[in-house]
Amino acid sequence: MSKVKTRFPPSPTGHLHLGGARTALFNWLFAKHHGGVFLLRFEDTDRERSKQEYVDSIKEALEWLELFWDEGPYFQTQRLEVYASYARKLFEEGKAYYCECPPELLDKKRKQALAEGRKPKYDGTCREKGLGPGPGRVLRFKCPQVGTTVVEDLIRGPVVFDHQELDDFVLMRPDGVPTYQFAVVIDDLTMGITHVIRGDDHLSNTPKQILLFEALGATPPKYAHVPMILGPDGTRLSKRHGALSILAYRDEGYLPQAMRNYLVRLGWSYGDQEIFTLDEMIEKFDLSRVSKSPARFDPDKLLALNAHYIRQEDTTRLAEMVRPFLEKLGVTPPPTEDPKFLKAVESVKPRARTLKEMAEMMRFYFVPEVEYEEKAARKFLTPEIAPALKELTKRLEALPSFEEDSLEKLFRDLAAEFQLKLKHIAQPVRVALTGRTVSPGLFEIMDILGKETVLKRLRKALEYIEEAQNG
């Protein structure tokens, strides 16, 4: 067998979404597993809708996922002469013919066929007219009218298509631009593609493409059609299910390794294993393990997987990754190597599910003053707790060591003296220091904030209580 070569051929008419990213991943993994080549090709013949911004966005998404291509990117609009030469060959060999039927007439015939319960396929009006090229004429493939084409699908097994169900489909439009069916075959042929892995919505295109390969005297690639991704409700995945573009997931604070791991498990499995490194995916990926049933998108599972990868990530690397999310919140964090910054990252690492969430959890460490959540302040920053907070502030000023053990002892002693449970002092202090009722461990955050900041925030809380009492 020749060296395995796969391709990912997006249309640059939108951003890369989950379905396309999974297709890219499966093609990339299959090529890498077999020591082959992965090629990127843009199907940009829809000139009105194709945009450079989408080309850039798709490339950026693939690079973020670390699915680097070995060849390309190629663009169909730069290959029009290649398609024209193959079109001439098919016409000269009598395997294609020109059709002059106007679009309005074809539309009328299509509607009539549907109304009569017939398949709305081209009726072959121009098949034997012997027309040559001319204004307004399309080139059609002369499809066999009897027999069958069998798609030996690597996932679902053999699928048989009766030629009577196919029609003489268009290869070249009047403006010299190829149709999808023709361009994809010429591309796969001239680029040496050995395996086509794509969504099963393309299955009905495959017999036409196989017939074209055969008409050109070429061996078709092997085909594998992956079942689609459904939403949690069992309908086709769409934006209403909360599915975002790949770059939007990046911007929400998902990690590329979490996204890759989630995508590979959408329709592929290896025993009960859920977590895969990239090397493990390459080693274990095989089409025989791709499910024949549609996969379901579960945003909660993706979130849980992302939390797992955040917990596993190196703290210094995580600090670099969370930095832009802090900056978006208007915070300028210390240098990455600053021990306080790394401790702050460590404190929220077990709790955060996304980098965005992590930045929000950490924000209180780096702001000049915290803003209190209204409900939290009303409940915990009360006149009743003020005497304990005043005494705590006084004792903290005198505390020689500001480490977790000494802080905890001070709190316990104070709670006993004021005949309070530890939590009755801890929660007001938490609100004073973070503005919230939920945070990393109190003594941990006091150690990270440092004595000066802790005292400043406690004094501010006492002022708040006094003002609320007098106001």
Q: What is the CA angle 73-74-77, rounded to 5?
A: 140
Nearest to 214 by CA among 196, 189, 197: 189
In sequence order, the 6+-apart residues with CB closer than 8 A to the CB of 309 are 255, 257, 258, 261
Instruction: Indicate the DSSP class of residue 287.
Output: G
Q: What are phi and psi of 196, to 5 degrees?
A: -110, 110
Question: Residues 345, 348, 353, 355: is their CA dihedral positive or negative?
Answer: negative
- Helix, strand, coil proportions of the chain in percent (round to 5)? 50, 15, 35
Structure tokens belonging to residue 35: 């020591």
Q: β-strand 229-230 against 71-75: which pairing, if any?
A: unpaired
Instruction: Indicate the DSSP class of residue 178.
Output: B
The verdict on whether 239 is a catalytic residue reads yes
Task: List residues bridging with 41 in a β-sheet.
Answer: 74
Provide DSSP, 296-330: E--HHHHHHHHHHHHHHS-HHHHHHHHHHHHHHTT
Task: List residues bridging with 225 in a β-sheet.
Answer: 198
Q: 32, 51, 208, 239: which one is catalytic?
A: 239
Give CB contacts under 8 A, 24+ apart, made by 424-428.
424/385, 425/385, 425/388, 425/389, 425/392, 427/380, 428/380, 428/381, 428/382, 428/385, 428/388, 428/389, 428/461
Q: Are 347 and 445 in contact (CB under 8 A)?
A: yes
Could you check whether the bond before residue 73 is cis, i.e. omega within 30 degrees of 0?
Answer: yes
Q: Distance (Å, rounded) from C-alpha 453 to C-alpha 59?
A: 45
Structure tokens belonging to residue 130: 């012997």
Going from the C-alpha of 180 to that of each of 9, 48, 83, 188, 390, the distances in angstroms are: 11, 15, 11, 12, 75
Count of C-beta atoms within a 10 Å radius of residue 263: 24
Q: Are 172 and 201 in contact (CB under 8 A)?
A: no
439 by Cβ neighbours in 10 Å (0-12 / 13-18 / 19+) ranks as: buried
Q: Distance (Å, rounded) from C-alpha 57 to C-alpha 16?
A: 7
Q: What positions carry a catalytic annotation?
A: 239
